[in-house]
């Protein structure tokens, strides 16, 4: 099997570190590995399954000889460096927002539109974490009955803000437990411990935030549904890791609950956990604690949308998935594997 020179940009962050783990777990054919990060991380030595690797500063010349770049850096870094990586012969799988809606950049969830990855012109975009977690279970239902409208509320963990967000939540919880004063927030707009923050991202459109509009705009592109209508509310919750979502779907055709559960139970990337009568809470419905550090999107609370006047065309469900893994790193490595295949 051919082996590839792989570079991870943002290698010392939460997603970059997880990408390294996912490469090993998915037995990616790595021939050589480059870890790239900001100048302040350059020189750090990281032990990997492919030997000890010294972190280099992310710069154009660092992409010489690289086949595949996994990007876990911010938008400004992505825009500055990834076109240069392409010019030097690499294919980039980018986790930032920088290129997601560009017309000539595929936006890919392998369980949904794997073929789009092969139309790339050097850059493939990884969708937003909440988009991935919501669409993986929506797609098989769409194939069955044709989704035309989504109402979504997301309950997004501190991990969405990376290592600083997780550390801040842990520090706040620790201070509360010790009866100490909680420091002023830095990673979030307000204290997250014992609180909810009903805004993620800046205002984008008619009172909706940038994070909320991603579910519609990215969903339309990924599922090839230009007329898909989405109403989304995104909330930051005091959970360390793993996002949760409440999703209500309106369909073009009738769909029974039995059909919905059957298709979800067999869908790629999905685990159905839906039994209110189960003895253990862990078998009743998905929870962030159970879905952390694994790659499936767990789905439960599958039921009718009783507010839909056409009752046979509405389904509501609850889902949870690890934001750092399937919501970011795992999906990126899955895309890279498509290129190898």
State the catalytic residues. Answer: 129, 243
Rounded-to-integer distance, Cα 168 and Cα 294, Å: 23
Strand 203-205 with 68-71, pairing: unpaired
3-state secondary structure of 256: coil
Instruction: Compute CA distances 161 → 156, 237, 239, 285, whole Å.
Output: 10, 12, 12, 26
- With beta carbons less than 8 A apart as the criterion, state whether 22 and 327 touch: no
- With beta carbons less than 8 A apart as the criterion, state whether 132 and 270 touch: no
3-state secondary structure of 63: helix
Token look-up 């990616």 returns 28
Rounded-to-integer distance, Cα 56 and Cα 110, Å: 30
């Amino acid at each position: 099997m051919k082996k590839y020179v792989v570079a991870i940009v943002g290698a010392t962050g939460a997603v970059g570190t997880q990408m390294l783990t996912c490469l090993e777990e998915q037995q990616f054919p790595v021939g050589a590995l480059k870890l790239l990060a900001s100048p302040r991380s350059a020189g750090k030595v990281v032990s990997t399954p492919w030997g000890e690797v010294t972190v280099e500063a992310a710069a154009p010349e660092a992409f010489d000889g690289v086949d595949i770049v996994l990007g876990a850096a911010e938008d400004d870094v992505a825009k500055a460096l990834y076109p240069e990586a392409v010019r030097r012969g690499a294919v980039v799988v980018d986790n930032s927002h920088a290129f997601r809606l560009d017309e000539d950049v595929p936006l890919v969830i392998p369980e949904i539109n794997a073929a789009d990855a092969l139309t790339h012109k050097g850059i493939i975009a990884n969708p937003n974490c909440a988009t991935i977690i919501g669409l993986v279970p929506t797609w098989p239902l769409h194939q069955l009955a044709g989704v035309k409208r989504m109402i979504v509320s997301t309950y997004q963990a501190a991990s969405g803000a990376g290592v600083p967000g997780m550390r801040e939540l842990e520090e706040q919880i620790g201070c509360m437990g010790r009866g100490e004063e909680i420091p002023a927030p830095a990673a979030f707009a307000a204290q997250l411990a014992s609180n909810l923050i009903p805004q993620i991202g800046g205002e984008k459109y008619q009172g909706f935030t940038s994070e909320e509009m991603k579910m519609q705009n990215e969903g339309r592109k990924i599922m090839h549904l230009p007329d898909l209508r989405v109403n989304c509310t995104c909330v930051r919750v005091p959970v360390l890791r793993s996002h949760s979502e409440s999703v209500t779907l309106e369909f073009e055709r009738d769909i029974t609950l039995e059909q919905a559960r059957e298709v979800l139970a067999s869908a790629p990337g999905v685990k159905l956990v839906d039994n209110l009568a189960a003895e253990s809470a862990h078998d009743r419905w998905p929870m962030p604690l159970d879905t952390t550090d694994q790659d499936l999107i767990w789905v439960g609370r599958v039921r009718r949308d009783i507010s839909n006047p056409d009752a046979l065309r509405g389904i509501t469900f609850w889902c949870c998935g690890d934001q750092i893994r399937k919501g970011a790193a795992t999906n990126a490595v899955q895309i890279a594997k498509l290129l190898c295949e």
